[in-house]
Amino acid sequence: MDLGLKDKRVLITGGSKGIGLACARAFVAEGARVALVSRSEQNLRKASIQGAYTIAADLTDAAAAAAMVERVEKEFGALDVLVNSAGAAKRTDADDLTPAAWRAGMDAKYFSYINVIDPVIKRMGKRGRGAVINIIGSGGKVASPTHLAGGAANAALLLATAGLAYAYASKGVRVVGVSPGVTRTERVAEGLKAEAKRANVSVEQAEKQMVARLPMGRPAEPEEIADIVVFAASERGRYLTGANISTDGAASHVVI
């Protein structure tokens, strides 16, 4: 199946590792050109995607994010696709939350997306084309006592995704949310440590308990999430907009 992505310009935030890196590799395999953004230049060097444009920026800073977009479009070219995968709120037990921790969660996940979406989607709207894919997370629908701040940010992104899709549909821009559940990434490994601390068990025990709760008996691989992202961004997904797709292997088996 030809996904119509050859030579398309794709910007991936958080593209140096985890799901973002898997997405970069999947887009390259489809013939797209990719630009990767990360806060860490070292992680960008490790990513080693041949021919990729790379740039380091702190996306929690609105001015830095806007400057990044300006530079990418000037040096890399007008963007056809934006994939947001940067930022994750620190997992914190409910008893340890403070107003500052809630705010940090919004900065880390919500504003690291919005600060990039805002300048990019306006440019796409003026050009009359584009796709924005937000990798959000099942924590926006299912509350966890160690992920309340991050879950609140995810819930806000679900609303922003649906609302922006409605606002920009007539301008030729699509916006889609993809919400993974447990995926084999460094972020999930860090989350297991927080869960182990909360439950007063070892990390190994926490992992076994986590896997036991998964209907498919295993976490997702980053590449499996990337396949869905690439399709959603492609010409084959051209009528897919405003959707927030749960990709958690039926872990949250509810109708919403």
Give the confidence band of 147 by pLDDT, cuts at 50, 70, 90: confident
pLDDT digits (tens, 9 = 90+) for 45-56: 888 788 899 999
- Which amino acid does the sequence have at 155? A
Secondary structure of residue 152 in the 3-state scheme:
helix
Residue ranges per structural domain of the chain: 9-182+221-247
Which pLDDT score, from 0 to 100, does residue 256 have?
61
In this structure, the strands spanning 173-180 and 81-84 are unpaired
User: What are the tens digits of pLDDT across the range 12-22?
Assistant: 999 999 999 99
Measured from the Cβ of residue 214, the count of other Cβ atoms closer than 10 Å reads 16
Is the pLDDT at 199 greater than 90? The verdict is: no
Sign of CA dihedral 9, 13, 16, 20: negative
Select the more confidently predicted residue: 22 or 199: 22
| Arithmetic mean of pLDDT over the chain | 92
Q: What dihedral do alpha carbons 242, 248, 254, 255 form, nearest 10°?
A: 20
pLDDT at 16: 92
Q: Compare 207 and 119 and report the one with higher pLDDT.
A: 119
Q: What is the mean pLDDT of residues 179-205?
A: 81
Give tens-digit pLDDT for 72-107. 999 999 999 999 998 777 878 888 899 999 999 999
Q: Which positions ≥6 away from 79 have C-beta within 8 Å?
A: 9, 10, 11, 35, 72, 73, 120, 123, 124, 130
195 CB neighbour count, 10 Å cutoff: 23
Task: Report the percent of the chain where pLDDT is more than 90.
Answer: 68
At residue 3 the predicted structure's pLDDT band, cuts being 50, 70 and 90, is very high
Give CATH superfamily name and number for 9-182+221-247. Answer: NAD(P)-binding Rossmann-like Domain (3.40.50.720)
Take residue 219 and report the two structure tokens written for it.
Answer: 């976490």
Question: Of 7-21, 104-118, 133-147, which gets the smallest average pLDDT?
Answer: 133-147
Q: For the residues 195-217, what does the mean pLDDT come to? A: 85
pLDDT for 143 beyond 90: no
Q: Mean pLDDT across the stretch 19-28?
A: 96
Q: Phi/psi of residue 204, each to 5°?
A: -65, -45
What angle in degrees, to the nearest 10, is found between the helix axes of 186-199 and 203-212? 100
